[in-house]
A and B are shown apart, each in its own frame.
Chain A
């Protein structure tokens, strides 16, 4: 019995990807934190290889800089991954799409973690569309073992065609733990520049050639998918329905057949572009097709337009599966017409318990003070951003009016001020500021827009678990260099004992008809207590003399 778990590691899907990369000869990882992708970098940071400096780790300012740095590492012939949450791929999109044109040199795997049901995101966009848009192979694991194996496979594929490969996962796989069998470690690639020295110069004349090259490879990508171990056709006697199950949807399907006694043909998809041989067979042999996929109806739309021969294709578009939200075993059972019984309702005494700012969080004071400073003005002028401080939208604060995409606070405040909403206020976290707030601040300075920007500096990237913030120790100098006048850069301590002084500063700067920056600075209490605990540990060790 014990043998079953011998040689297995119990890891999250994210950690499986991380370990898969390390074992496949990874030289460096680049990333900006984002749920549910954060644990990939965090796992690699903890490995011996990273601690000894053999693998490059560390957080980037944003996903675009991460993507570009990874492309540079690939250019140099080394294997690299770049990891992000799905909306991060929007930020990295320019680099990502063009990296398909330049192509890769050393293996380049881009990991994008989607969040269907929006457990901690603004939307549930499906990264597979980006992969298709870039016209590169996409891998989509159904379990932790495949997640591990696919990284090494992805590196090989990337090096075979000299093209980046997209690895798409969803929250459920990223944050679910299971046993994984690991492989023997591979050596890292040596430094080796591209054989064509012009490959990465996307001047139109070269880009046209590179694009033709990418187009020329599309057929080969399909052949790879047709022969891939990750795309499998399981025949079944009952051809009234053929089922396509992508990535993790395959598990939800099989959950409904504990004895694996499924009678319909099933096509399990783990690699794109879609394998045409399997698809044709399924479509030709079955009366109807059901598509099960987490995220958007990506495959469903493709086969509807690809075949368009009148056979019924069921999925999210015709309502067989709900149009939005994460799949689960019951949703799949309903789609299959199986009987599901609802046993109990959740009693009405159960009240919602939304996430809250921690007791003693510096943002609490900042919002109370901001509300007080704006009390005399009409509501609706506070443009906020993404981070712990977005919880200022909830009671008892009700302090903010927007949260769109990282960095949008400053630029939206500027646009509103341009339209006459004066004063307009932006609220942005320190990490979000260096992620993509700085360029917006430059716009505001260049237009002398009458906005007040609150940069809430808690010294960390708190929302995603307290990663190092690239802004720490640099914010005033950045603002000054961008052209904010020195006397309108005000650092305050967000503490009740400073209240009178702070109120005066808040009011002065909100009244000022130009760009002003207020920096409430106090460490996140979760980060602070973690730091203190570690310090205590070090001290203990010192006194014991180990």
Chain B
């Protein structure tokens, strides 16, 4: 048991071992073994890149199903802001919320509304806390995991404030309890654009208290929602501001922060890595708030969404402008006070899955072996050994998980050496047939004759 839960899984039957995914993975977490991909759990950050890139649709995410709703008496839907961008702008935010009620939910609590509160809490935090810079939001759990795995040095940059999803669940459940429902009977279900959020909810070792009870993917509810919407629904009253709704697209968080804060938005996990590398070198100190979105386009580009992210972002922006309500004001301030600004107290721990040994001295000697092994590999990063790069194979060899002959070029070299040996042996004629025996150790040149 490794202690990590991951929502991204492989459907073994569909995997053809094509190695497309291993190179796309930002944390080198996938290997192909015996013709099938497998995920190194310590490294996976559930960003969904492999789901997007797999030509055989063998990578999936495990979410909950409607059946889980039955476990609760009072069921609250928490739609991610990205959901609103999936309907070509044909339905209002209030209608989409309303449609959720017909899928078996008793109430809807907009995550976009919680995003408004998180924005306000973050604005305060950024104003109060001077260093380090830039500060990085925790809204995207794939980015948080990426930092734990690949940029542990940047953990102090993460803003210790809860995600809108979790804040929404907490608020929604407290509201239900205030209405008279028992806490245990109240279930909060997030409608997710991505596997990373599923993981964040189910992860056993969290640095925050989780309030979400279940997660359904946008893809899963999309068809049903569309049907309900087409047959006409009663609108719910929208509670989120346009800024909160826009959190669903890249740039939304930064825009919500306002003009007093120096912001930068980066989307797409490989772009995020590039920027975090800059931050690690001590750059970008002039930026106060760095919005990092694992998905290109932000959450509307999540691996479990339906519509092309460029279009979804456009629809979302229009809806935000048309349907958003004025921001919280007094009521928001009161909520922030009551919930302690949604602060997270526990520290986020680094994961360090790349460390070759717990003991530094041993790790150093393994690293030496790794680099020497690497020198003997061809350096083509061809992927046919099942590792994303030659270095990754060298690493696997040092960890005892692979062998040199997994490299086809090494194997060929060995085979051709062997073949040469065989040829040499084959050309030797036995002495009885007049062959001359090789002399090595004998000091006397006439040894051959003596033996005969």
**A-B complex is real:** no
Residues of A within 8 A of B (CB): none
